[in-house]
Structure 1
Amino acid sequence: MRKLLASAALIISMASAASAETIAVSMARFDDNFGTVIRNAMVAYAKSINGVTIQVEDAQGDVAKQLDQIKNFAANKVDAIIVQPQDTSATQAMTDAAAAAGVPLVYLNREPINIDTLPANQALVASNERDSGTLETKEVCRLFKKAGKTEASVYVIMGELSNQAAVQRTQDILDVIGGPDCGVKINIIDRQTSNWQREQAQNLMTNWLSTGTPFDGVIANNDESAIGAIQGIRASGADVKPYLIAGIDASQDGMQAMQAGDLDVTVFQDAAGQGKGAVDAALALAHGKKVDRRVFVPFQLVTPDNIGDYLKKN
């Protein structure tokens, strides 16, 4: 933790000294709620730093389009690039394009597949996904146990299967329920991807409900998917309250669902903190300063008991 704080202090000091620099940003999708919070935080923070210009482009969920954006940024010799990768398994080409042009690159929010071989002027600013699904699922276990259950059946809604965060969050779920500390036997009836999207998650839930299979809860890779499950249950005419619904992100919509008593568990992922951290890292690298390969902003468990601490954070 001391090392992380020292690194953050260095990055902030370099950002404050920045002058006449351009940071180019490629976001996976502008229509993603969580990504919008990150984007707005980056733009506002960069504007608060004298002499820093930020330009942000939308990859619209298109891997090829995003790579073209990175290549164009590099060709235009911007001072640094920030990318929230659409497909974390397709990041080597982005790394190569930036490296060939000598332009620093910061991966944001989503860990690239080539993280361990990044050049010295590239880094990741995100949260440690090994904590996200772990915090979520441990709380699910605790709540089932508190309710007196020794066995429970759940559906799992995954994010985009090409995304490292979705893969890791799902693995977290499997590790916790298969480990010795859960205290409840949790059976996964089915797991499907909603591609992080609320509407797709609602459709999944509708299809699952149509089978008539009894279940006790839904563990989702993000709040949007959890909300989609809630909407699917409600649209069927059923009461959401008997089901344990869990998500990740602590988005504003997720917080509203928790206040309404529909969402039982979420995990705060500091979107604004990641956005600001990415700008700091980009400026530090642009000044030739060393930045840790991974700069992690911690996840934090959010429940109805402590929701007041998080209502305005995302």
Structure 2
Amino acid sequence: MRTVTTIALTLALMAGTAEAKTIGVAMANAKDNFLSSLLKGIEQAASKASDVKLRVEDAGGDPSKQLELIKKMAADKVDALVVVLSDGDQGAPVSKIGADAGIPVVFVNNVPVNSAELPPKQTVVASDEVESGTMETKEICRLLNGKGKAVVLIGEYFHPAARTRTKDIDDVLATDACKGITTIERQSANWSRDQADSLMQEWLDGGVKFEAVIANNDEMALGAIRAMKRNGIGMDKVVVGGIDATGDALASMVAGDLDVTVLQNAPQQGAKGVEAAVKLMNGESVPTFIKIPFELVTPANVQSYLAKSQ
């Protein structure tokens, strides 16, 4: 009996001192409001997982730097990679780095352009972008009664979400119910509040007249709002939409400035990314695409989302 007890105790001690597995997290830009929230979801999920630790590397929005950081983590033999791509076109080289090193790769949020060709032990955790821009634009169309002029603020041109959300806008405005709405200006503000502010100022200085602002994300919508208010434009005269339902966007909606946003659940994307990485590290299978649904947020239901964000 003593021998059995000793063996059991030894095994328990060995299990307790087992080295934690490392998930290398490659962030596109951790200073971005949305991605900061996503990173919190990653960190919270990792804190709940047993024997898992994180190594977070931030590219600061530089795709080339991110690729080098990912190569370094693979060389250092992290046990899995959770990657929030700076550039969706870099999905293929990142996928190859993981496959060559035998490391599971989980792409989160930014869907790589090669997502349909991912090798084993690789997956994508994201939302279906066709839902996002479609929800946003349909609601703006409803508020405009299907008529008016709109300006469009586009994210980074190389980002798949920006391309898809902009196509969503065009597809909705081509429908019979919304074809009375014309887009008179469209330009990239690179997801940035400050760049959107500057771009809106240029349009206003140029005498551009419009009834709606359709932005690919909340940050650009908020930048446009800031510029319009600075120029004395009443926010009851313009319909403004964004995507992400960030804390700042919800506050702007409560204040009566932002009319539409679409929740892209950043913390849940991050958490599901960690869950997928843990399963892949443990030899389990996961779907090739793990979908996190979008949700329409308007002044009618914003209070419920405020409660969730606090």
TM-score of the alignment, normalized to the shorter chain, above 0.5: yes
SS at 2:306's partner residue?
Answer: coil
TM-score (norm 1): 0.90
Match of 1:152 among 148, 166, 173: 148
The runs of 5 or more residues in structure 2 that have no matched partner are: 1-17
Question: How big is the shift at 1:177?
Answer: 0.5
CA contact (8 A) 2:25 2:83 kept: yes
Larger Rg: 2
Structural RMSD (CA):
1.3
Opposite residue 36 of structure 2, the aligned amino acid is T
Paired with 1:215 and 1:90, the residues of 2 have a C-alpha distance of: 37
- Shift in alpha-carbon separation, 1:46–1:253, aligned structure 2, 3 A: same
CA contact (8 A) 1:121 1:285 kept: yes
Opposite residue 135 of structure 1, the aligned amino acid is M
Paired with 1:307 and 1:115, the residues of 2 have a C-alpha distance of: 33
TM-score (norm 2): 0.92
Match of 1:247 among 237, 242, 245: 242
Q: Which residue of 1 aligns with 2:132?
A: 132
SS at 1:174's partner residue?
Answer: helix
Opposite residue 153 of structure 2, the aligned amino acid is I
- Shift in alpha-carbon separation, 1:312–1:81, aligned structure 2, 3 A: farther
Question: How big is the shift at 1:50?
Answer: 2.1
Question: How big is the shift at 1:256?
Answer: 0.4
SS at 1:203's partner residue?
Answer: helix
Opposite residue 188 of structure 1, the aligned amino acid is T
Opposite residue 32 of structure 1, the aligned amino acid is D
CA contact (8 A) 2:141 2:147 kept: no
- Alignment map for 1:50-65 (pairs within 5 Å): 50-65=50-65
1:175 equivalenced with 2:190 (yes/no): no
Q: Which residue of 2 aligns with 1:237?
A: 232
CA contact (8 A) 1:135 1:301 kept: yes
- Shift in alpha-carbon separation, 1:84–1:265, aligned structure 2, 3 A: same
Match of 1:161 among 157, 165, 169: 157
CA contact (8 A) 2:45 2:275 kept: no
1:209 equivalenced with 2:204 (yes/no): yes
Q: Which residue of 1 aligns with 2:98?
A: 98
Opposite residue 123 of structure 2, the aligned amino acid is A
Q: Which residue of 2 aligns with 1:26?
A: 26
- Alignment map for 1:260-271 (pairs within 5 Å): 260-271=255-266
Paired with 2:91 and 2:307, the residues of 1 have a C-alpha distance of: 33
Q: Which residue of 2 aligns with 1:303?
A: 298
CA contact (8 A) 2:82 2:108 kept: yes
Question: How big is the shift at 1:239?
Answer: 1.7
User: Size of the alignment, in residue pairs?
Assistant: 292
SS at 1:91's partner residue?
Answer: helix
1:46 equivalenced with 2:42 (yes/no): no
Q: Which residue of 2 aligns with 1:226?
A: 221
CA contact (8 A) 1:107 1:123 kept: yes
Identity of matched residues, %:
44
Flag as ranges the 4+ runs of structure 1 deviating above 2 A: none
Question: How big is the shift at 1:237?
Answer: 2.3
